[in-house]
Amino acid sequence: MNSRKLGSADFEVSEITFGAWAIGGWMWGGADKNDAIDAINASYENGIDTIDTAPAYGFGRSEEIVGEAIAGRRDKFKILTKFGLSWYSEKGIFHFDTQDEKGNPAKMYKYAGKERVIQECEDSLKRLRTDYIDLYQIHWPDPTTPIQETFEAAEQLIKQGKVRAVGVCNYNKEQMIEANKTVNVVTNQIPYSMLLRDIEKEVMPWCKENGKGLIPYSPLQRGLLTGKITEGYVFNEGDHRPGTPHFKKGNIAKTNEFLSKIKPIAQAKGCSLAQLVINWTLAQPAISTILVGARDAKQARENAKAVEFCLNKEEVQVINGHLAELKLDL
């Protein structure tokens, strides 16, 4: 697996990053810790040395699992985590209702005041069993705190050696510009897939022009672009996907029709639809790395194979042509 420069940071990451949201269990219908650790190990064995997690993924559980998985070999990995989305305080902007790891009612709040950012970093370092974080990212914009204050805290963490680089998540172009006035913001982690391409209007061109990296999450549109989700698919209890727009009944059918049109390209490459989708996404402008989750070792190995081939110009044109014809009800 090749490495790519992480935006304007001074280090590189693997083209595919292990996305650790699902292994936290929260909003994904549960997760097995041993399977998760096996998935991280299999990813590493296949060249994926970068892991993205967050405190909010399972109320710290995802970070704890990552910390356990990399114990004794921290220097072999690049760890990306986040701050600014908390379940233990009502300060900030209410994000949504959820349930904690025991099934009790809980709430999530967006808050990135200076003291909170510093405290969250300390908490993450403990859960991850490390003394530094490679990329520290604000999870969601916090309209209650001046952007300058938030990133003054991040800059302080860099000076203390606890953070190597700073990024943002879910920021628009204007927010990125404002944050970059205080500290070098190297990346923006943002939703992007064949089915969700809003960032191509402003965020992607600005990042390309200014040397910032994009870290797409949900490149498989939360599993929909694998071709494995069909009408009548039964999701586990607690899985959030059935309530999201892309998983409406009509959208599932339309997406699978699109996938059937590009399946011959996947067959010609000897790859799965998921691998084809990941490969297409990696070829888009300003992409530093792509987040792809895996619940077990088999999925992790399959993800890594997505970089073992190249799409030629004609194949890309065919895919883009079918995409232009796809109209979803969002």
- What is the SS3 string spanning 113-147? CHHHHHHHHHHHHHHHCCCCEEEEEECCCCCCCCH
Question: What is the spatial distance between Cα 78 and Cα 76, in angstroms, rounded to a whole number?
Answer: 7
Q: Structure tokens of 300?
A: 């992790």
Please list, in sequence order, all residues whose beta carbon lies within 8 angstroms of the beta carbon of residue 11, skipping any fewer than 6 positions away.
5, 78, 134, 164, 165
Contact 94, 84 (CB under 8 A): no
Paired with 78 in beta bridges are: 50
- Residue 135: name the closest of 198, 69, 189, 211 by CA: 189
Question: What is the spatial distance between Cα 135 and Cα 124, in angstroms, rounded to a whole number?
Answer: 12
DSSP 297: H
Question: Which residues are identified as catalytic?
Answer: 57
Q: Structure tokens of 94?
A: 């209410």
- What is the SS3 string spanning 79-114? EEEEECEECCCCCCEEEEEEECCCCCEEEEEECCCH
Please list, in sequence order, all residues whose beta carbon lies within 8 angstroms of the beta carbon of residue 117, skipping any fewer than 6 positions away.
83, 84, 150, 153, 154, 157
Which contacts (CB < 8 Å, 24+ apart) does range 264-269 have?
Answer: 265/311, 265/315, 265/318, 265/319, 269/309, 269/311
Could you tell me where the DSSP H helices lie in the chain? 33-45, 61-70, 114-128, 147-159, 173-180, 203-210, 249-269, 273-282, 297-304, 313-325
